[in-house]
Amino acid sequence: MIKAAVVGVNNIGKIHCRYLKENNDTDLIAVCDLNKELANAAANEFNVLAYTDLKSMLENEEIDVISIATGGKENGSHHFAPARMAIEAGKDVLVEKPLSNSIEEARELVSYAKAKNVRLACNLNHRFVPIAEQAKKWIDNGDLGALLYLNMKLTIGNPNESSPWIHMRALHTHSIDVIRYFGGDIKRVQAFMTKAPGRKVWSTASINLEFESGAVGHLTGSYDMDNNHPIESCEVAGHKGRFIIDNVYESLTYYPHKSSELKVFRNSVLTGMNGFNETFKNRINTFISEIKQSIPPEKIAGSGHEALAAQEVIEAAIRSQLENGAVIEIGK
């Protein structure tokens, strides 16, 4: 059994606890949170030990994998310290997105995990769905041909006004990761952002993309929409055909060129996913399976390296907005 612990047990952390507890290959043994009440409540709910100090937990418990589900500014400023401590202790680590709201800290985590030869994964859960897996097979099998364009939309309702870039840093690790999962590395970006009436932060964004492959793309993102409606779509087109994913996991349609016959995959009512939270289940189960199979750190899915690559694109988009829509090369 793989012994697991969760650090940060507010809302998202409890989801991590639930699916680690349900996984047949893991034994959830402890939780840790600076808030003693939250730690005790989670410990009681999942019948595990409670800690308020990560160092103490690492010294007293035999742990193989740690989920970091702390929050902080832009949903990421409290990730770095516990993740680095877990890596230092030689543990495999799954970090909520973003790795950190600081790109320098995110780079350091990836570099440090590589130096320590431990698995560093990120909760890039939007790609861990059967529909995305099938779509990726079509790309890899050449069914779409050479990729030409990728259009992504991720829009939710979120009133958070804590920083000018909360919308970009807290949300779009997901959308950029999905785009990169299908299209590969992104070379250049150009961003234009706006604020909804009464808002003080850049809450809606339009981002142009150029891929290393030569394909082009676009991301539309917003914190100003309604969560009662579909939040996400992704269209990928090549010179032989295209596909569209509707609402993360609900349906996938392949449109081959020169044919009126379509391929449609839908989430099954009886045997499919039972809601968005199961994307967490799929993501966590994949990481546990990789640990059990001794998959090398550099070959795991949804790695820290991939999360960092998405964050580099986000920071370039922010820079583009600051520079009045300038075209920014990634990493330059």
Q: Nearest CA to 321 among 113, 172, 125?
A: 172
pLDDT at 269: 85
User: In this predicted model, what pLDDT tens digit does every residue of 254-296 receive, in sequence order?
Assistant: 999 999 999 999 999 888 999 999 999 999 999 999 999 999 9
CA–CA dist 38, 46 (Å, integer):
12
Nearest 10 degrees: Cα torsion 57, 63, 64, 66:
-40
Task: Identify whether the C-beta of residue 15 lies closer than 8 Å to the C-beta of residue 62.
Answer: no
Task: Identify whether the C-beta of residue 133 lies closer than 8 Å to the C-beta of residue 172.
Answer: no
Q: Which residues partner with 120 through β-bridges?
A: 93
Which amino acid type is present at position 139? Answer: I
- Residue 319 class from Cβ within 10 Å (0-12 exposed, 13-18 middle, 19+ buried)? middle
Cβ atoms within 10 A of the Cβ of 14, count?
A: 18
User: In this predicted model, what pLDDT tens digit does every residue of 32-83 receive, in sequence order?
Assistant: 999 999 999 999 999 999 999 999 999 999 999 999 999 999 999 999 999 9
Taking residues 290-310, report their average pLDDT.
98
Q: Reduce the DSSP state of residue 250 to 3 states and report it.
A: coil
In the predicted structure, residue 167 carries a pLDDT above the cut 90: yes
DSSP secondary structure of 97-147: SSS-SSHHHHHHHHHHHHHHT--EEE--GGG-SHHHHHHHHHHHTTSS-SE
User: In this predicted model, what pLDDT tens digit does every residue of 99-144 receive, in sequence order?
Assistant: 999 999 999 999 999 999 999 999 999 999 999 999 999 999 999 9
pTM of the model: 0.96
| pLDDT band of 331, cuts 50, 70, 90 | confident
